Structures are given as C-alpha cells and as structure tokens.
Structure 1
C-alpha cells in the first residue's frame, strides 16, 4: 500500500495544529481528515476510516485517554500517536498504558512527528518485533521506563505526590533512578517553574558540606538559598556529616534564621532526599539523627532493584539502544537470546549498570545485532564476587563490589573529580573509629596498631570527624 492510499485521522481542538499537520502529511502524499472533537474521531474510526490516528489528549468533549480503549476495542490494529502540551511523566505513562503507538510532547518537531507517522504506517501488522520497537521509541522519551507491577506502584505513588508539596524520602539501591524520580516530582509539581538544585552528599567532601548547603562568607549563599521557590534534592543523605544534619534540622524547624538576601525572607523550597543506605540502622549506630529522619520521611517512596523487575529489562535495553544511537553511537538491535541472558544477571548496579553495558556494547562491537554471545562475553568478568563464593569475601573483593556499584550509578559511568581522596576517606573513617573503639579511646595504642604517628592520628580524627569512644584518650 503506497502513501496515497493511506489515510491519517487528525484530532485537535487547535485549528492551527490541524492545519500544520494536515499540510505536512498531504505533502508526503497521505490522505488526511481532521476534526476538532473526539466524537467525530470515534465515528470515523467506527466507520473503518483511517490507517493512523494522530490526536491531542485534551479535547472539548472527551479526554482521549478515555477514548483510546474504545478505539483499541473496535480497531485493535489501528496505531495511535498521542500528543499533549501536558508534558509530564503521568501523561507519558497514561499514553503507554492505553496502548498508544507513541507519545509526542508539544510543542513538537514536525520532522519527529512525520517520522513517527511513517514508522506507524510501515510497521508489519501485529509483529512482536515492531511492537517492541514502538515501545522502545516511546520509552526512550520517558524519565522512567517499565511496565512491571513494582514500577506501576512507583508511578501511582508519584501521581499521589505531585499535587502535594510534601517532603519526600526516596530509598533504593544505587542505580535505581532516585534522581530521575526526584526530577519527575519537581517537573510535575507546583514548583516546576523554580530551580531543581542538587547536592550529592556522597560526592561532596565532608568539610565542604556545610558551606555548600548554607553558604560561605564570600557571598556564596549556598544551595538552600539557590533552591528558594523550587526543589532541593539531597542525594545520598545518609552520607551527611552529623554537624550538617544538626544545622539542616535547625533550618527546617526555623530555629536557625536563614535569609535569601534577594527577598529578605526565609528560603521556601520543597526538600526531596534520597539514600541507598538504611537510615534506621545509621540511627542505631549514632550516625544519623532520628529527629531529622522523621522530618525527611514524611512521604516515603521506595524504588525496586532491577532484579525485582526483570520483565522490564527488554524494554529498558531497547530504549537504551535507541538513546545511544541518538547520541551518536552505532544503531543496533538485540535478539531474544541476549535479552534472556540479561534477565539472568543479578544487576548489582541496577538500571544504571544496564545502560552503561548497552553503551559499551554499542561503542565496542561492530555487529548490528547484539547476541547472547556478546552479552555473555561482557558479563563474564562482572559476576558477583561475594555471593555464592566458597569462603568469606576478602576486603579487596568487598571494596571492588562496592566501587563497581558506585561507578555504575554515575552518569556515563564516570564519577565526579576527587574520587581517590573520597574513597580513602570512606575507608579511613571506619578503620580509625573501630581501632579507637577496640583500644577504648587510647590514641597512643590506636596509633601503634595503625602504624601512624600519634599527631597524624589526632589530625585524621579531627579532619574526618571520627566519633570518639568513651574511655582514656
């Protein structure tokens, strides 16, 4: 069937949109019929007209998300492209749930729209491969990808929280997408016109945390003031030093006056915190303030690890392939055997690890089709070194596994500068603290055990903020 024999039905209450799309599709040789209401669109579909529907979400008489199930029931093979000016996660997810071929946010690029129409009209009817490709194109535009039951629960929670201005605590392993959820809550919430300000407490040197948050004397007013009117995202809140926790709590409850010099008022922002650590365990260890935990845990949101939603892996992998290609890497497809192999991997680095694996394969392999053999080769050296091994894990293995997860959680797999000093600090602090506990606070004995000069140990205790055990100093 050539273009001239295919008809596109357009539904949008904006006459200018109808005109632009009608002219564009007509120039490409398609027949076009346009309407400004959902009732007429439904009549045309019921009469058997059209090979493709392009429709806005909000129509004068009905919401298209209520209409699409009826279209699919009458014409299950008829592809539908949904467009909307309500560019948020909920709109995109709703489009996916009702079976739209693709979701296109307004304002749209005309080339993107005509390209989507060509794909919809040229796809083999009921081809599983074409359905998967259509999902991948749609999913690549979403901040969160997945149709599994655990992810549906995440979507429902996000939908409940976007209309409120509550403090949110997002928990989940590294690489599960905590910052993506925080950004979605901001972009869809009341403060979408304000700034989304991020501070990663794990990547910020401990001695600079307070200055980054609360400002410095040189005129830098800090992240709290910067986020005024918007959202402050405290990533890896479990790594915040105790002194900074105390000060943050005072700012939240108003006992420490913090003023935005531009407005003369206290900063007003939504706080979203995230952590991959068990804050309740840190509270028991005296490393996290319980009162701050209750201030942050107003609306908890847990993200599932990838191993708990393996049915999402094919959609994720295909979307990442498209994303990699859009960013300049070679175009590739993936076969069913490779997808099954991906499902069997434990994914300690979660979604971030999967995306980095896809990027690496696109960059390093010349094959257009990713097979199970390629996946097996790439995963061969990445199996868990602790679980299932004979005998206890060595310290080097535990550190390597932790660092692998950390690398996988970073954009493009690249951590921010200063990694060496941060890692040494993370190792030094518990080493010194445990040694001091073993010696009951005797610094002379602890320095001897550690092989350090006593003055060096004293300086490290001060610089690292090591909690001193009670006993002889």
Structure 2
C-alpha cells in the first residue's frame, strides 16, 4: 500500500532548534520538512501534504501568528503547535484561542514534544473521520448545506438555542458534521467574538485528560516545568467543544460534572479555585445510555450534558441533500485541483443518491475529490466512481480486473494473497501514474494530491518502476 508516514513541517529561524527537532521527529518515524521563516513555511504548506506544523512565534518576514492564520484559512483541521519563550507565553495562549492546537515553551524535553505531536496527529486523524467545515453558500443555513426534513428540524433548534448559555449534546454517526453544528452554535451566539476551543477526548491519553481540560501548575508532575492553562480557561467567555465525550474516563467525569455545575475548578497541582464563564457543547457517536448501563458513563453527567439534545441524521436519511453537497464539493475541488468538472451524469447521480454512505458526508467528500482528481471529462460518470458505489455495496469490493486476468489468476498456482498483492500493486500504479500525469510529472504536487510525503512517493515510484520527470508518469525507470 502507499506509505502513510505522517509529514511534519518545522518552521523556526534558529538552525540549531530546527536540527534538534528534525532529528527527534525523524527518529520517531515522521517525515520532516523544515523552513527558516514563515514565508518559506507557507510555501511548503502549499506544495506538500502536511499533517502537522510546529512553528516559532517570533520570525522574520512572516511570523508565527500570521502563519497560523494563513494555514488555518487553507486547512481548518491542520494542527499547529507554537514554540514560545517564557516572555511570549501570553502570545502563545492567544494563538490557542485563534485555533492553534498547543504550544511548547523553551526549553522543552523530548517526551513533551513526543506527547504533543502524537496527540495532535491523533486529533488530525479523528478529524478526518468527521465532516469538514464548509463555507455558507447557496442552499446553506448556519453554514450547513441541505434542506431535507431532518435539517429543517435542526435549523429550528439552532435558531432557538444558539444564542443561549444552554449546554448542548450532539449525537450522530461519524462523518455527519457534529463539529459543524458546534461551530454554528458558537458563531450565531453573542459569544462569537470569543474563543471556540475544541478537544477531541478520544485523542487524549486518559492520564492526561485532567491536565488537558483544567491545566496544571509548575511541578505538578514530571515534565511540568511551567504552569499551563487548560482548555476550560482558554475558552473563557466563549465555547468549549468536547468531541467524543463518551471517551472520558469515569474518574474524570466527576470533576467535569463539578466544573459544569459550579463553573469552577483547580488546575492539576494547584490550590487556587478558578472561575470561568464557558458554554459547553459536547458530541459523541456512541450510545451514552448504553454506556451508563455498562457503568462506564455517569448518569448525572449525561443529564447535565443533555439539556438540549441534537441528533444529526445520517447521510442515507437525507439523500435529497446529496446533489447540493456534491455541487458544493465540485466547486471546492475544482478550485483546489485546478479542474473544471461542471456536474454529474444522471446514471452516476442515481448511484450517489442511493448508496448507503456508511462514512456519511466525509465519505462523500472523499469520493468527489478522487473523482474530480482523475476525471478528464466535464461531467462525472459511473466509471469515475469507486467500485463499492458501482456495486451498491459498502462492503469491501474486489479490485477490478480484466476477465482474462481474473481467469488466469484463478487457474494459476499462486494463492489468494499473491493475487491480491498483484492487484493492489496494479491499483497503486494507476493512482500514482494518474497523479503524476495530472501534475505534469511534478512529484511534489503529485505527493500532495495523494496525501503522502514526497519521499514516500519517490520510494513507491522506484518500487513500481515509474521514472521521475515531467510527463514521465508511465515510463519505466532504471
């Protein structure tokens, strides 16, 4: 399979710090790119598929805050970790309120770096399973696209509860857009100019969840070389969004309940009580009532969270919205991929609207992106869709093979694993070749389209016998 090594971008004007961080992250198994200032960092972001950015605050040309704003404008789910000195911690905290994932205070140790990087990449991975935020446009209300009965009910609830302090619990399958609804609640309230802080509870190790939510004081545990505010403090005056709330361990649920009821808490290792004004929105794709029955979720916390419950319908329950969503995604990927796909053939649209979509909106978005990437015609056709859609089944479908090849495989001596390996190699070769063709043989841009690192693509090209060079997508190498 195509390599899936995560790609980390380090942006810092100190050569020694770039060298140290790069060496550590490379040893930890990441592909690392480095930039000496924010301007170079932004250029690398445009050229590569970056999974995580670690950037200094103070840099020439383009500073860390500008880099943060520009990067999040391009990719709202991109985790960005700020590097700060003691004198600029307040600026780093401000960066968190603007959407940075976390910050590191110099001097930092390798375990702290390792923890934050792992946590950030796990959050990025989980975000990839949810529907991504979209911009309001035709047919959109609250920044949400659709006019089906289920969404009409959702709009009515949002109109009533958005500008209130009421706690909201959003439930629904992965990929239905729970974060989008949480953002709508915040953006249409009087808190919209205050921070919107999100935490994916499933991405935080259980032993770190308390310090993540409530912060910690210096010396509270090994590695706590400075004091650090938690997400409740960062969200002061604004909204705290706790995604995957069902993953919080039972022993932490008591402390969370107290923070919600009393609007106060103490940092880990601290004695000072901190009061906050925070509107909490929680979300889960799990059945909390079943967790309560199993003893892994507190009933009193559930009642405190579920003051207003919003259930998001699965995409298969709102099939009439699929054409609108496809129209939005076509416009998005035409711009990003420099294509001009104007629509979908009726037969292909029939398949798209009748498919069960187990991955919901996120799956639909991925399908449209891949179809636009590899389409050479103005309207998407049935053959541009993946096999599972053409078969109408979400289950694993065989890699398409010519009838003669299939009969040869069945009659040969090789086992199933060998045939699958050959078929996967053929599919990989097609994907890589078409990405290279689409980008005029530019390996850097092809790697970005395939969402792998440049180094990973070069290794795969060597393995498949594809030569690097403009227009050489299908040519044999040495």
TM-score (norm 1): 0.50
The structure number with the bigger radius of gyration is: 1
Higher relative contact order (CA 8 A, sep 6+): 2
